[in-house]
């Protein structure tokens, strides 16, 4: 498992592959993730500041327990090009190349600490939220909410 401290801006960070994202419209699934084809936008309660993000690549869905998390959603994305980037506003981090399968990928997004209410547009330096992204090869499937403990805006 790898980790990076993402500097969130305007409540969003993304995981993306090469290719133009597709505007599929609609709200964030579970208030947490918006699928956009080659990109997933992840909504945070934090307006701006550091958010730790851990990620791991799996060979298949492990159906790990989600009890230690407050919100968990899954969505599919196209990773045909194989390169993935974690990005936020003006920063990006290259993720290790997915191996060995390219193409449709399922991403499970785990979140906790989103229920800590902050001022909506406040920039903070302390860490209150954290995320885990698990990715594995899988056929495209509709987004799914596995666990939702906060409201769509991230409040408890």
Residue bearing tokens 């991230």: 154
- DSSP per-residue string spanning 105-142: EEEEEEEESTTS---TT-B--S---EEEEEEEE-----
Decide: 17 and 78 in contact? Cβ < 8 Å. yes
Report the topology of domain 2-148: Substrate Binding Domain Of DNAk; Chain A, domain 1 (2.60.34)
Residue bearing tokens 């993730």: 33
d(CA 114, CA 46): 8
Domain ranges of the chain: 2-148
% of the chain residues with pLDDT over 70 = 78
Bridge partners, 76 (sequence order):
106
Cα first-last separation, the chain: 28
- Which is more confident, 81 or 60? 60
DSSP 98: P
When pLDDT is cut at 50, 70 and 90, the band that residue 73 belongs to is: very high
Bridge partners, 94 (sequence order):
85
Model pLDDT, residue 75: 93
For residues 104-113, give the mean pLDDT. Answer: 92
Stated pTM of the model: 0.85
Q: How confident is the prediction for the chain on average, in pLDDT?
A: 80
For residues 51-66, give the mean pLDDT. Answer: 85
For residues 41-49, give the mean pLDDT. Answer: 87
Residue bearing tokens 């399922």: 106
Model pLDDT, residue 17: 82
Decide: 98 and 82 in contact? Cβ < 8 Å. yes
- DSSP per-residue string spanning 49-83: EEEEEEEEE-SS------TT-SEEEEEEEEETT--
Decide: 120 and 87 in contact? Cβ < 8 Å. no
Q: Express each pLDDT in 121-150 by its tens digit.
A: 666 667 778 999 998 989 999 999 999 987
């Amino acid at each position: 498992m790898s980790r990076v401290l993402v500097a969130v801006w305007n409540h969003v960070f993304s995981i993306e592959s090469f290719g133009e994202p597709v505007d599929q419209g609609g709200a964030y699934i579970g208030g947490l993730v918006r699928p956009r084809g080659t990109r997933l936008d992840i909504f945070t309660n934090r307006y701006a500041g550091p958010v730790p993000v851990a990620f791991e690549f799996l060979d298949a869905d492990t159906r790990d327990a989600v009890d230690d998390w407050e919100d968990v959603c899954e969505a599919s994305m196209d990773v045909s090009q194989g390169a993935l980037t974690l990005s936020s506003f003006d920063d990006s981090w290259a993720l290790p190349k997915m191996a060995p399968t390219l193409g449709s990928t399922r991403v499970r997004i785990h979140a906790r600490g989103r229920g800590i209410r902050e001022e909506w547009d406040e920039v903070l330096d302390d860490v209150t939220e954290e995320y885990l992204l698990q990715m594995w090869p899988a056929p495209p499937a509709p987004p799914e909410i596995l666990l939702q403990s906060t409201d769509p805006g991230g409040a408890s």
